[in-house]
Amino acid sequence: MPRHMPTLILVHEPEKACFDRLVADGFPAERALEISSYLAQSTDLSPEFDELAATCERRGLAFVPVELDDAATALGKADPETTLVWTLTDGVSYFRGGAAPALARLNGLKTIGADDSLFALCQDKFRSGAVLGALGLPVPQAGLARDGHWLVEPPDSAAGWFVKPNRLGAKIGIWQDSRCEDLGNALELSRRVFAAYRDDVVVQPYVAGRNVRASFLGLKPDTGAEALGISFVDSGADFQTMADSLALYGGTGEAAKAAGHYAEPVLLPVADTQPGAAATIRRIAERLRAGLGLRDVFSIDLRVEADDHVHLIEFEVCPGLPCFDFRAYCRSQWGMGLADAMAETAANRLTDQKRHA
């Protein structure tokens, strides 16, 4: 790669590499396919690498996509003065993308996104929830169970509980019965999740409301929470299951589209009907930026009740850039397609860093 030309390196973990590793580790192929599908943004973005290269070239940058397994070598050869690293996938358990920002730091390279400690924290939902609660943010309290046994008992809940894997998705309940009225059922779900995915489950009081996605891209270095895009994500379901997720992205998503099973959720601006809730979400984002260190690119998932009460469900340091919601955000907030928005962000960051060097 060029050693003197400003360069954007995009590190990504392919679905197939993850799938093959999981199968080698003893996961059944069906489970490995489900788990590796969380890396579908790598699959979905790869056809646009040529477009990304062209948009970067127009801004005086080289674009170099690097698969995660090649990242140690590639980042070790990169020029710290002219290189910017953007990591597309996070993960410390099933996925390994959290190694990329750590490798960038090891080699003295500048990065887009949060520091590597948050790449680990965001993937452990029980621990991240504890940190968010300590920051005074409105995250539901949680219990933690492993294979039918409580590690931490959940709080009482008149509305029942929601059960989800601890390291495999913060809002996906896997199955339709992931909302349950009895803690015995919650423990049974923990057995099923452990058997299928070798994961603990977070058990939270069920919270009512509509699903909301807040997206952020710091296209300019001084961008603040005013650039947050906050939308209701209306899919017609109360929560997303694994089957719903598989129908949206990657190779499984393409198959779902071909079979006529794909239905893209509707995005509606929260501020149009609940401006008070939108204002609360911006304050939450500012607290996450100041107290947790989110920056550059991230997303937040929330539930918003009709009375504007907001529940913070999770944050993501690697939002699904090629997903429908982030593309819509780039168009509405920045008036750009995804490739141009990414290239412009990188060019602005490298220019700003050179100015302050």
Q: What is the pLDDT of residues 115-154, one digit of tens each?
A: 999 998 988 999 999 999 999 999 999 999 999 999 999 9
3-state secondary structure of 39: helix
Output the pLDDT for position 66.
Answer: 98
Q: What is the pLDDT of residues 154-175, one digit of tens each?
A: 999 999 999 999 998 644 567 7
How much is the mean pLDDT over the chain?
Answer: 90
Closest of 78, 63, 70 to residue 17, by C-alpha: 70
For the beta carbon of residue 204, count every other beta carbon within 10 angstroms: 25
Output the pLDDT for position 262.
Answer: 57
Q: What is the pLDDT of residues 1-54, one digit of tens each?
A: 555 789 999 999 999 999 999 999 999 999 999 999 889 999 999 999 999 999
CA distances from 10 to 13, 120, 222, 346 (A): 10, 19, 22, 11
- Which helix (H) or strand (E) element contains residue 276? helix 275-287
Of 238 and 302, more confident: 302
Q: Stretch 242-265: mean pLDDT, rounded?
A: 58
| DSSP designation for 227 | G
Whole-prediction pTM value?
Answer: 0.90
Output the pLDDT for position 251.
Answer: 55
To the nearest whole percent, how much of the chain has pLDDT over 70?
88
**Is a pLDDT exceeding 80 seen at residue 250?**
no
- Which helix (H) or strand (E) element contains residue 183? helix 183-197
Output the pLDDT for position 236.
Answer: 65
To the nearest whole percent, how much of the chain has pLDDT over 90?
79
Closest of 91, 88, 67, 64 to residue 78, by C-alpha: 64
For the beta carbon of residue 337, count every other beta carbon within 10 angstroms: 14
- Is residue 91 within 8 A of residue 98, CB to CB? The reply is yes
Strands annotated E in the chain: 7-12, 62-67, 83-87, 110-112, 143-146, 149-152, 161-165, 179-180, 201-205, 210-217, 229-234, 266-269, 297-304, 310-316
CA distances from 230 to 41, 211, 280 (A): 21, 11, 11
92: confidence class by pLDDT, cuts 50, 70, 90: confident
**Is a pLDDT exceeding 50 seen at residue 356?**
no
**Is a pLDDT exceeding 70 seen at residue 239?**
no
For the beta carbon of residue 147, count every other beta carbon within 10 angstroms: 15
**Is a pLDDT exceeding 70 seen at residue 241?**
no
What six digits make up the tokens of 54? 């062209």
Output the pLDDT for position 74.
Answer: 98
**Sign, CA torsion 295/224/61/16:** positive
Of 170 and 92, more confident: 92
Flag the least confident range among 187-196, 255-264, 310-319: 255-264
244: confidence class by pLDDT, cuts 50, 70, 90: low
The CATH classification number of 210-335 equals 3.30.470.20
Phi, psi at 211, each rounded to 5°: -75, 135
Write out the DSSP string of 63-110. Answer: EEEEEGGGHHHHHHHS-TTTEEEEE----SSS--TTHHHHHHHHTT-E
In the chain, where the domains are located? 7-121, 141-205, 210-335
